Amino acid sequence: MAEHIQQLKSLIGQWYHSILKHDTEEAFAYKEEVDMLLRNISADDEQLSKYYRLVDFRHSILTEDFMKNPKIGQQIKHDSLKKTDQMLNYLHYFMEGQFEFVNSRFSYALDYYRKAEEYAFSIRNEDKAELFHNLGETLYRMNEYTFALWYLKKAVLLFEEANLEMRKLNSLSFIGAIHTELHFYDEAEEIYQEIFPKVRDPYQLSLLNRAIGLNRLRQRNYPEAKSYFLDALRDHGNRMVHIKTMTNLAHVCFKMNNNNEGVYYLEEAQTLACEHGLEEYIARCMVLRGLYTMDDLALVEMAIQHLETNNLNFEIKEICEHVSEHYQAKGDYKIAYEYLIKANQSETMERRKGVTIS
């Protein structure tokens, strides 16, 4: 279902571009394809529905289907274009940002979200809150924690003003995750303790349990990490969260020397990651296999190459740090040092992208 919705968002974006080009024939073709896809799926997505209605309205303006009286028609056309263009541009860039984020292309997602931000004055505060949350989450995945915190805190305030409690708690959870990444464990714990009793939605609860599990994993509290990861696997209906959590469980079981259990979770995680095309977690499973079941650095290098091929460079730093820590614990400081250097190099190379020297 999620894949079909992303496909639908992409098609609506292409339809909109056809309208902007005044390519009536192409616009009709895309409209027919979008309408057919809509008939075949049940999408309860408010922003997607709004996006469709606005583009469909622009389509009717392009084809002048609703213009019976030329004078009235021209006035409607002028007023409608003025009112809808800004919202359409916002929704177009916002949807494109979501599409890139889902595919883990975070630099591209950030570019689209920042373009959407240019039109933020034309949207409601609750929509602005969602945009700020998405910007914060994207920057978090890019290890840009200072800017991520700025956007997430803005999102929290706007969600609170709009009385969207669950969305506010979700943004707070990411703030907790950033504190974990920065090793501010007490601050992260304070946030988690504040929001945990308030979360009721099974999906949100699974995300929170996984976040706390990652917090415990960072602190090398493996028994508690395992307990939270197991809680995160409870029924929530989200396959992606399931795959990520299974990978985390495999990791923590290997850390606890529960190798048989670790292999069980690893096999399931890798099978599902391959089945659903989650390239990041295909690579992460390869790393776990290379480190804990096969003792094969060649497999680790294949995983890093896999991430590079799929333009998932922000994950390379974390994986190289994981490998370095693993070999440091084994007393093999030469390999540990080599992968620490690789971690720093990957971060430097990623930050240099898009920077031009005059």
* pLDDT recorded at residue 20: 61
Asked if residue 100 belongs to a domain, the reply is: yes
Structural domain boundaries, residue 321: 313-358
- Alpha-carbon distance of 307 to 351, in angstroms, equals 16
pLDDT in tens, 80-113: 555 567 777 888 888 788 878 877 788 889 999 9
Q: Is residue 326 part of a domain?
A: yes
Domains identified in the chain, total number: 2
CA distance 229 to 248: 7
Q: How many CB atoms lie within 10 A of CB 349?
A: 12
Q: Check residues 47 and 291 and name the one with the higher pLDDT.
A: 291
pLDDT at 22 over 80: no
End-to-end C-alpha distance for the chain, whole angstroms: 47
The pLDDT-based confidence of 61 (bands split at 50, 70, 90) is: low
- Among the candidates 90, 123, 156, a domain finishes at 123
Is 109 within the bounds of a domain? yes
Is 297 within the bounds of a domain?
Answer: no
Please say if the pLDDT value at position 79 is more than 80. Answer: no
Q: Are 195 and 161 in contact (CB under 8 A)?
A: no
CB neighbourhood size of 275 (10 A): 10
Out of 106, 123, 140, pick the residue that ends a domain.
123
Of 123, 158, 187, the residue that ends a domain is 123
In the chain, what is the greatest distance between 2 CA atoms, to the nearest angstrom? 83
d(CA 65, CA 124): 30
The pTM assigned to this predicted structure is: 0.77
Asked whether residue 343 carries a pLDDT value surpassing 50, the answer given is yes
Report pLDDT digits (tens) over 129-141: 989 999 999 999 9
What's the CATH code of the domain at 40? Answer: 1.25.40
CB contact burial 178-215 (16+ within 10 A = b; e otherwise)? bbbbeeeeeebbebbeebeeebeeeebbbbbbbbbbbb
Is 4 within the bounds of a domain? yes
The answer on pLDDT for 336 being more than 90 is yes
The rounded distance, in Å, linking the Cα atoms of 138 and 106 is: 6
For residue 72, the model assigns a pLDDT of 39
Compute the Cα dihedral for 94, 97, 99, 101 and give only its sign: negative
Does 85 reside within a domain? yes
Q: Is residue 83 part of a domain?
A: yes
* Position 42 confidence tier, pLDDT thresholds 50, 70, 90: low
